[in-house]
Structure 1
């Protein structure tokens, strides 16, 4: 029988560090890969008329009719991965290497392809950097005049088991779409290329110049406090901390950052802390106006004057951006009276939803902080949410955790009724106490006090899900993503829940697959999303994995654990779970 030879464009892709990811959490890694295939990879291959030749556990070989189609597909996948990895810790990211080659192949009777054309594509993938695409000279020659590409010529490269060196070109990719659009199809308020609001700003993480990595928490905490102070200024649009934190340690032109986040101004700088002194260097840049420096200053003060420095930075930024706003427009926040309490509180920020041990550590630090400074508003609020998550996420006893969470949340609001963060936390606690009206009152107050409070808006979306108002939930999700275009994973959990409630099941699968923080919580919702989207076999596999770790779980637990106001509001989730087949 004669050989069936042909010229083909071959794409080879593989996951970077798959063995390490699988060894740390095999079930979760496989589930994420399945979600990526269904949500991103397979649809993109189909759009560009590709044919999957074979899959390995962590990679694939794909044939295309043209190199242009293959390269366009590779670019879309890699840019899609940038968006999905935004905000995910580096060691938990799924990243692909991709190689593309045009060459002679042999087609077997079962459709499999063999020969140098396939081998070279696979070897090109092996020399690509994580997140990059490597093209052979033959492939590059076909696309260089047809696609607007930025490439690096790697020269003649000896590929493993390939006799002659191959000239290799590395394709520069990794530029995500407008972050709001990339985050969700529902977040359409950010328009790429539109003029950002005049009073809009993003505060980049201050660089820790203390010579002690242990002090990084202090620089991050100072950054967050300045963001909070600015977000309380009436009329200002301020990007949330999670979104600016994604730029930490990266060398990116501030004009590009401003464009990505949809703001006009960027505040950047550094902080140095010693035993008794504090030095902060900050500069305000009009990034949308050509990158000109508007204002810069160095503050060299006693460490005890840290809160005075925060106030002064805020005041100077406001005055530099808009001379119309005076000191009277800057809302004074409740401050701690003790630096040790402040350090304990800053160290605890964000730990409550990472792991059970981190949450326990945060609770211990915050208990100490409120002992040292009983009138420290933020410490009471953060302790309340850590106690809430302790029993809600991490299996800590509800007694006395629930009562203590409510007590500390109420105490924070008593200390400072005008603190938006405190109002938001009290709303969270009241929601899981099933006091829906009180939760709504507190969320409304949080947003009224600080319209930039993206977390409060996101939680309002969660409340609307439980009240059975899916459209209102989607609107809240859209607004939260406008304020925080590169959010933490739990935003995607809320978005996915809202999409299930509103009947957008495929979209829900995509959102829930991107949640890297809630773990079993997102899987608990992903299962009904898959089932309702008609992907019952995938839902059953996810359910099997979930129940293996939660053998006593029943469908009734879903409505018991989450504060749905009625069975009508919970009905889509219950229906989806029943399709997946676990016991009632």
Structure 2
């Protein structure tokens, strides 16, 4: 359905807002809120209605809700003073009061007629999603967005895999979408996501690398820092995350290329456990990885993946002085 009001066109099927024929950029969450208000314009929409429909009953602050309402007003040329289109009803909620004309959207071409989304066959592709702001204050979105953009930029310098552009990956901001759906729509194998929580002068950042095919985590880490210098903290954590992600993708691609399955699922399980230790690069984890890998090879002596990781583990131990050459 398409809604026309004043000089605006709100297209629910294309998920697009235009003003005078020009596209108006909107965060997905703000678009959903505006569309809901317009569709429910015959009644007052309560705060509980919005939390249920837009935030899936998650707890949010009044400031977060008001921020989204103000963003919706700004997008359609309204503001909180005049409330020409979106009116606040004290102690009741909100109502869209503009004159609206409904139209049926243009028919969409059948799926078979649409060109397929590009898929990367020769190189793996990675999408970096906007880090979720867990602080409850929309004004803090900039910090999570900055971390995400820095990670995206740094990963883009790696020439052996592709990184999806910000304009595509950030469209999922504020939406609860399954990793596999994101990977299918963007044509990627790996998805980086995370969250940021700020409290006073402390910040906690979590990040994880997901394998879209299995839906599992390849790597995850949490960083707690004092915010003495925001940009220094942002640079430090970005570098740490990128340094961890790149070798994980490299290892995953090496294993993807080796199609020979182990003769025992127990051997595979030991290998997966060993990998979680191998990438932590501590002496204790080095020893744990070695024991698990030797166990996997004891079960399946011809298990190529376990043999290759054990060899790399030995080399790493020698390089760091944790083991000696025989």
User: TM range, normalised to the smaller chain?
Assistant: 0.3 to 0.5
TM-score normalized by the length of structure 1: 0.26
- Would you tell me which structure has more helix in proportion to its own residues? 1
TM-score normalized by the length of structure 2: 0.45
Higher relative contact order by CA 8 Å / sep ≥ 6: 1 or 2? 2
Q: Which has the larger radius of gyration?
A: 1
